[in-house]
Amino acid sequence: MEEKKETHHFIEQIIAEDLKEGKHNSIITRFPPEPNGYLHIGHAKAICINFGIVEKFGGKTNLRFDDTNPEKESTEYVNAIKRDIQWLGFDWEDREYYASDYFEQLYGFAQKLIRKGLAYVDDSTSEEMAEMKGSTNQAGTNSPYRNRSIEENLALFEKMKNGAFENGSKVLRAKIDMSSPNLLMRDPVIYRVKKAHHHRTGDAWNIYPMYDFAHGQSDSIENITHSLCSLEFENHRPLYNWLIEQLEIYPSRQIEFSRMNVTYMITSKRRLLKLVEEGVVTSWDDPRMPTLSGMRRRGFSPEGIKMFIAKAGVSKREQMMDIGLLEECVRQDLNKTTDRIMAVLDPVKVVITNYPEDKTELLPIENNPEEEVRTYRKIPFGREIFIEKNDFKEEAPNRKYRRLAPGSIVRLKAAYIIECTDYIKDEATGEITEIHCKYYENSRSGSDTSGLKPKGTLGWVSAQHAITAEARIYDRLFTDPFPLNHEGKDFMDFINPNSLKVLPQILVEPSVQSKTAGERLQFMRIGYFCVDPDSHEDKMVFNQTVTLKDTWAKLQNQQKSTKK
């Protein structure tokens, strides 16, 4: 049989060629988050690419925090980012770095540019600089401060560092080309005065480098072979390369890939922070958020997220992924890994009239039918149980009806076959309050000799032993798949008022009391759920992760059939 040839995406092809040609003995990548918010699904793609490439080709991946904007950064965000990376299953070992580790070196690099006549201190306001920059159709004009002497620039830059000037009064700009077709090359700002307390360096610095200056130089200091970033930085690459060339430092190579965009999600940290600050969501880890901490709290598995990222692929082409595919990937993973639990979200009582009143049985039920080696637990069964209200109809709607109705039979999962004989109805409300059934004693699961063939199987919980819990049912946070694509409207206009529904009194089997925060499970015939950290001794809380039904795959199959 012919051996299947391994395929590589375009970044892996570049790396494979570089290694083959001997440009590098091994590779070093880095993941460089800004500690100004929590990581989201877009960051997950960057993490998987940077760490995944090293897993495939060997080498190392550094974790480097781009902490050059102290007003928006905090240790809270640093710790949250580290938790998320580890949760995804990646390890940076002892290679944890910060741009602030290099502030002294970066300051020296800036001085070197000044000495080479390639940087100058500018007193212009931000509005004046924007006007001088020109446009895509018009060349920029030189700043009146562009021809300051090297000596004056060095002295002014040192005074900026020492705190002699106020915020916004002076900046350091690279001297490149004010007529460049790439506006980012028109004398970009590389340092600004910012008198702000830094979460690591305290008040030691009064100036901070811009991202474009700190980024490439930090890569070079760490000998990063391949600096992988999202596509919006493609226009920044000429500046990245220019700075490395002029400073004559290690030439890291920047390569861009398309971002991860997902329907019904936004990945702007500024906008996500607005959702938190305005109370639309409870926190950064609200299960409706596209943050990794939110997805973890909702019950998404790292394996499901990584499966989704693998299906999205790595390319230069901008893409919009369907949130249904993400949910389907999570569903596929949880189907293999979660225990099945009996739960009833909207209960109605069933009395099995011919079952002994004082009898309780412990019935064996498998934990997960997908396990290679089946394991079992025992659940209590008695005369009174609860089932879902929508599992009963006063009259069967058609011959294919698989649930309970007067005169019909169903199997209770892992228990007996029952037949509805009567029901009690509240005449004022029309609500069914109690269902009466008889059971067939010789129909117990695993030893059924009744010969009966019920069409359906129902979930249930013992009325005497069930635990009351809270369920949080989540829907899309936005009502529109593209909340940022509406001219003249704010994304907040599309907040879904029904994105969270709380069910305060669901019933679950008693085995859930052993579950701890973060554990995932399947409520049989309902969906996948996760134990929320809000759970306590008196009441457990479950977050719905995804529905049980494969709605996304069903839609895809319908679309394929239509095309045929």
Is it the case that residue 4 has pLDDT exceeding 90?
no
Q: Are 32 and 85 in contact (CB under 8 A)?
A: no
The percentage of residues in the chain with a pLDDT greater than 70, rounded to a whole number, is 96
Pairing of strands 96-98, 461-462: unpaired
Rounded-to-integer distance, Cα 58 and Cα 554, Å: 39
* DSSP bridge partners of 257: 230
- Cα four-point dihedral sign 53, 58, 59, 65: positive
Q: What is the pLDDT of residue 549?
A: 81
Q: Which pLDDT tens digit goes with each residue over 390-411?
A: 999 999 988 889 999 999 999 9
Contact 472, 532 (CB under 8 A): yes
**pLDDT value of residue 550:** 67
* pLDDT more than 90, % of the chain: 93
Rounded Cα distance between 109 and 247, Å, is 7
Counting every residue written for the chain, the total comes to 564
- For helices 103-115 and 237-247, give the axis angle rounded to 10 degrees: 80
Place of tokens 């709290």: 297
Q: What's the confidence (pLDDT) of residue 399?
A: 85
Q: Residue 1: its pLDDT value, please?
A: 44
How do residues 316-342 score in pLDDT, each as one tens digit? Answer: 998 899 999 999 999 999 999 999 999
- For 427, counting Cβ atoms within 10 Å of its Cβ (0-12 exposed, 13-18 middle, 19+ buried), the class is exposed
The Cα–Cα gap between 322 and 319 comes to 10
Rounded average pLDDT over 183-189: 98
User: Closest Cα to residue 44, out of 332, 273, 256, 304?
Assistant: 304
Residue bearing tokens 């999570």:
330
Lowest mean pLDDT among 4-8, 111-115, 273-277, 428-432: 4-8
Distance between first and last Cα of the chain: 33
C-alpha 549/C-alpha 547 separation (Å) is: 6
Annotate 400-447 with DSSP letters as a single string.
Answer: T--SB-BT-EEEETTS-EEEEEEEEE-TTT--EEEEEEEE-GGG-TTS
Cα dihedral across residues 129, 131, 136, 142: positive or negative: negative
- Residue 533's pLDDT is 97
Is residue 233 within 8 Å of residue 253, measured between CB atoms?
A: no
What is the distance of C-alpha 443 from the center of its chain?
46
- Mean pLDDT calculated for residue range 529-558: 85
pLDDT value of residue 560: 60
Q: Which of 419, 409, 508, 497 is nearest to 461 (CA)?
A: 508
> How high is the pLDDT of residue 7?
73
| All residues at 6 or more sequence positions from 277 whose CB lies less than 8 Å from its CB, including other chains | none
- CA 72, 76, 79: angle at the middle one, nearest 5? 125
Q: What is the spatial distance between Cα 335 and Cα 327, in angstroms, rounded to a whole number?
A: 12
Q: Which of 7-11, 131-135, 156-160, 534-538 has the lowest mean pLDDT?
A: 7-11
Provide the 3-class DSSP secondary structure of residue 158.
Answer: helix
pLDDT in tens, 190-237: 999 999 999 999 999 999 999 999 999 999 999 999 999 999 999 999
pTM of the shown model: 0.93
Active site residues: 34, 259, 269
Using an 8 Å Cβ cutoff, are 240 and 254 in contact?
yes
Three-class SS state of 251? coil
pLDDT at 552 over 70: no
Q: What is the DSSP letter of 138?
A: B
- Domains detected in the chain: 10-257 (3.40.50.620), 269-339+472-563 (1.10.1160.10), 343-459 (2.40.240.10)
DSSP 399: T
Q: If 0-12 CB within 10 Å is exposed, 13-18 middle and 19+ buried, where does residue 58 land?
A: exposed
Nearby residues of 562 by Cβ (< 8 Å), 6 or more positions away = none
Residue ranges in 248-395 assigned as alpha helix (H): 269-277, 292-298, 302-312, 323-337
